Amino acid sequence: MKILSVNRDAKTIKGLEYGFLTGIAYLRPSKVLCPGASKGCLAACLNTAGHGAMNCVQKARQAKTLFYLRDTKRFMEQLDQEIQALKERAYKNSMLPAVRINGTSDIDVQKVFKDILDKHKDVQFYDYTKVLSRMYLPWKSNYHLTFSRSEVTSLRTIKILVKLLRRNVAVVFDNVPDEWEGMRVVNGDLNDLRFLDGQGVIVGLKAKGKGRKDTSGFVVHMKGETK
């Protein structure tokens, strides 16, 4: 059982055009692995988008999640080996390696996977998070985080992150605009390489999977949107 999926979805395949070979670990999301998840987030989770809607995919993610929870040490050892293989494959093809450990989870990577980040300094690691406190902490030079807005995130918090701290915030829209609430929006669906987005921007993502039917406020509807 492989932990990393390498260029198996539409967004990571687009990363090839930018010279990156990307590996993503997809686990089964839950309040344990996603401590900052809101009700709207769990209901509209990308876990159900694309191939994630298939029963066989859900079973595979559940198996990897149990592997992580029940035998973390061996999970780490295998992940280390897969990252090494990803690097060798990337360099062989004159590309750069990138890894997203939290494809559909929100583990504190800088804490839990510290040794892996330190060992593979030549890999660009990146993630989304809904744990606000992580956005105020320093990041390792090879790690990048994008805060993910939910229906319980205040506009004030978003503007502090974007305008004051120059952090990036991902927002799910029904239709991705060029600007939102006076902040520049970059289209996050063009690729999954969040570390290339620049600083202090809104990363616009179009609602997918169950998110298309969201009524919780997790998805921002541009028509009739109020501050």
Burial class (CB within 10 angstroms; exposed 0-12, middle 13-18, buried 19+) of 68: buried
Residue 75's closest CA among 182, 2, 165?
Answer: 2
- Quote the DSSP letter at residue 221: P
The residues with which 179 forms a beta bridge, in sequence order, are 184
Residue-level pLDDT at 142: 98
Task: State the DSSP string of 61-100.
Answer: HHHHHHHHHH-HHHHHHHHHHHHHHHHHHHHHTT-EEEEE
**Predicted confidence (pLDDT) per residue in 193-223, tens digit:** 999 999 999 999 998 776 677 778 889 988 6
Count of other CB atoms within 10 angstroms of residue 193:
23
> Taking the model in full, what pTM does it have?
0.87
pLDDT of residue 225: 45
pLDDT at residue number 38: 61
- In angstroms, rounded to a whole number, what is the distance separating the alpha carbons of residues 144 and 135? 10
**Do 91 and 122 meet the contact criterion of CB atoms below 8 Å apart?**
no
- Evaluate whether 128 touches 168 at the Cβ level (below 8 Å): no
Distance, in Å, from the CA atom of 175 to the CA atom of 205, rounded to the nearest integer, reads 8
Q: How many Å apart are CA 12 and CA 21, to the nearest integer?
A: 8
What is the residue-level pLDDT of the chain in tens, covering all 227 positions?
899 999 777 778 889 999 999 999 999 876 668 776 666 556 555 544 445 445 777 788 899 999 999 999 999 999 999 999 999 999 999 999 999 999 989 999 999 999 999 999 999 999 999 999 999 999 999 999 999 999 999 999 999 999 999 999 999 999 999 999 999 999 999 999 999 999 999 999 998 776 677 778 889 988 644 33
Residue 207: CB partners within 8 Å, gap ≥ 6? Answer: 44, 172, 173, 174, 214, 219
Residue type at 136 in one-letter notation? Y
Task: In whole angstroms, give the CA distance from residue 194 to residue 197.
Answer: 5
Query: Can you give the pLDDT at residue 76?
Result: 97
Q: Report which residue type is found at 5.
A: S
Return d(Cα 130, Cα 143) in angstroms, integer: 16
